[in-house]
Amino acid sequence: MIFGYCRVSTKNQKISRQVEALLEYGVEYANIYMDTYTGSEIRRKGLDELREVLKSGDTIVIKEIDRLGRNRSQTIELIKELIANDIDLVVLDTPYLQEFIIRELKKNEGFMEIMANTLLSLILEVAEQERKKILMRTSEGKRKALEKGIVFGRKQKITKDVFLEYYAQVLNDLLTPKDVQKLLGISKQSYYNYIKRYIEL
């Protein structure tokens, strides 16, 4: 059976993007387990409940590798636990994790002992750096918007040039639609109205 797991670690993070990605992959909503604003321990309510229902041959799908644990050592230990219990792990943002590393860990105990910590630490470091970059881009985008006179808050009339500049960042995966909505102070409906007005001519 296929299960999904989502986690956010701060009050400001939204879990909806993770849930949407899992649903898109094909995980049924009833099989998605979630933890929100958790502490530093790896044992969490949603994760504990998921562990209780997992059986050999099941699959866990997560959007990002660093959603499993609060730090590298926790995440590595949990991945080893899943492998030992014959549970497959699919990481949507890191497909090669399953294709190469987990496959090798499963078939070669020596490889696990020698290489697992190094390889998984590297992957988690990359994930951590990517998250920091996204935060920096969002902050930079807000600063530029303020410099252009965009006021954050209720209804704003956004010029075509300004909207297209931010929309290009969405197309290049530098920002999400929600990031743009927040930066420009517009609603989800307004965002898609601008797309219809400026893009879908």
d(CA 32, CA 9): 17
Other C-beta atoms closer than 10 Å to the C-beta of 81 total 12
Residues annotated as catalytic (active site), given as ranges = 9
Full DSSP string of 124-178: HHHHHHHHHHHHHHHHHHHHHHHHTTPPPSS-----HHHHHHHHHHHHTTSS-HH
Other C-beta atoms closer than 10 Å to the C-beta of 105 total 21
Q: Please choose, from the candidates 62, 113, 42, 63, the residue with its C-alpha nearest in 3D space to the C-alpha of residue 84.
A: 113
User: In 3-state terms, what secondary structure has residue 64?
Assistant: coil
Q: Which two tokens stand for residue 1?
A: 């059976």
Q: Which two tokens stand for residue 137?
A: 């881009």
d(CA 123, CA 38): 22
Q: Which residues make beta-bridge pairs with 88? A: 59
